[in-house]
Amino acid sequence: MPTASVPSPAAPSRPAPSRVRRTVFVDGVRTPFGRARADGLYTGTRADDLAVKAVRELLRRHPQLPPDRIDEVAIAATTQQGDQGLTLGRTVGVLAGLPRSVPGYAVDRMCAGAMTAVTNLAAQIGVGAADVALAGGVEHMGRHPMGLDADPNPRFLSERLVAPDALNMGVTAENLHDRFPHLTRERADAYGAASQRKYAAALAAGRIEPDLVPVATRDPERGWGLATADEPPRPGTTVEGIGALPTPFRAGGRVTAGTSAPLTDGAAACLLAAEDTASALGLPVRMRLVAFAYAGVEPEIMGVGPVPATRRALERASLTIDDIGLFEINEAFAVQVIAFLDAFGIPDDDPRVNPYGGAIAVGHPLASSGVRLMTQLARQFAEHPEVRYGLTTMCVGLGQGGTVIWENPHHADYVPSSDEEVAP
């Protein structure tokens, strides 16, 4: 009986590198963020279409990139169901018009989904498995509330593997206040008001809009519209106003809507490349990835996750916290940010921290936020050539943290490398 013949694999176009290649951040964009509620911006918009819009915008901004040079697409979502399911990286790539030859996959590390998509693809680039890749994330929390239809294993509680309140993110923020009494409500309230103030200033200065891609929207009652601006920010927020808000996660607690990221819909995407490939294709280099790390902590105080993750990333990069000139810290809760700042001896109002404000103001569409942080850091690098290193960091549900350290190509000491050089 004849057997089917299997074609021999094509010869590689170039030898695999023997050393780690350097990954660069070419560009990042995001949709305007909307409030996750029945009358929000995206109530009638599909989640996957939000991700497609971000990917298409990257392709539009970089026509010098042949789409068939993209080697991989990784798109994250926390609640992978409905229009956020079906292997998002592949489906978004097809819907965005990429060649069928471009593969893709989905990622889930809860809030650090897009961050993990970036670091996974950077690892692929580093070992020569990809030259150019697309990473991103989407979360339509209006359609897919966090944890919807999740079925946590009863062993978590029956075997006391985690505390009962570890699965409620707001309660974990209250636990941080309990565990570290010096992280007072007054400090958190001041930080929440400052986030709104900094975002409003950045918006007025024209620093937010360049990274936004307008999205056509359709609402069954309001008809067609165009989303061009973020919906969650509350300009004019004051410390006194936050202080008067209720504490929904605990009676007499300290965490309020004014010190928490609102439930949000939105998507973000970025383009990554090997540094030599970016040069050959004429793609800009906005940042270089230096090191990254993830770490686990007690789930009931998940907000401290960025601390060990940052220490690990700094060690891998042979840097100290004093080498970092800009910080983009995801503001899931104000107490989580000030816990990070205290751990490294950084003042609450340090101008290096979230210069454009953060998730308390703009929103936190879970799996997409990691790329928002990166896109904002890239823009700040261009404004501050005197800063050589910056980092993006975030806490992650169930007790994790993730940190990525980046180098500024505008700094005087930045030296582009060839494939053969080793990234520090």
d(CA 53, CA 46): 11
| pLDDT at position 57 | 98
Is residue 214 assigned to a domain?
yes
Per-residue pLDDT at 424 exceeds 60: no
Domain-located, residue 422: no
Q: Is residue 216 part of a domain?
A: yes
In 3-state terms, what secondary structure has residue 324?
Answer: strand
CA distance 82 to 314: 39
d(CA 405, CA 324): 9
Residue 112, amino acid: A
Question: CB–CB of 295/396 below 8 Å?
Answer: no
| 421 found inside a domain | no
66: burial class by Cβ within 10 Å (0-12, 13-18, 19+)?
exposed
Q: How many domains does the chain have?
A: 1
Contact 54, 134 (CB under 8 A): no
Q: Which of 43-57, 146-160, 169-183 has the lowest mean pLDDT?
A: 146-160
Phi-psi region for residue 153, left (φ > 0), alpha (ψ -120 to 50) or beta? beta
Residue 217: give its domain's CATH number: 3.40.47.10
> What is the C-alpha separation between 209 and 212, in angstroms, rounded?
5
> In angstroms, rounded to a whole number, what is the distance separating the alpha carbons of residues 236 and 405?
33
pLDDT tens-digit readout, 340-381: 999 999 999 999 999 999 999 999 999 999 999 999 999 999
What are the residue ranges of helices labelled H in 234-285? 239-243, 275-281
Higher pLDDT residue, 39 or 332? 332
pLDDT in the model for residue 218 = 85
Tell me the two tokens of residue 391. Answer: 């980092």
Percent of the chain with pLDDT over 70: 94
Which domain, by its residues, includes 308? 23-143+163-406
At residue 418 the predicted structure's pLDDT band, cuts being 50, 70 and 90, is: low
Residue 413 falls inside a structural domain: no
Strand, helix or coil at 217? strand
The larger pLDDT score, comparing residue 370 to residue 421, is at: 370
Which amino acid is present at 15? Answer: P
- Residue 420 is assigned to a structural domain of this protein: no
Distance set, CA 69 to CA 13, 254, 281, 286 (Å):
12, 50, 10, 19
SS3 71: coil
Of the pLDDT bands very low, low, confident and very high (cuts 50, 70, 90), residue 13 is low
The answer to whether the beta carbons of residues 403 and 313 sit under 8 Å apart is: yes
Tokens of 87: 């292997």
Is residue 150 assigned to a domain?
A: no
pLDDT at 8 over 60: no
Identify whether 379 is part of a domain: yes
Enumerate residues 6+ apart whose C-beta is below 8 A from 319.
290, 291, 389, 405
CA angle (230, 354, 351) in 5-degree steps: 135
Active-site residue list: 111, 364, 395
Work out the mean pLDDT of the chain and round it to a whole number: 93
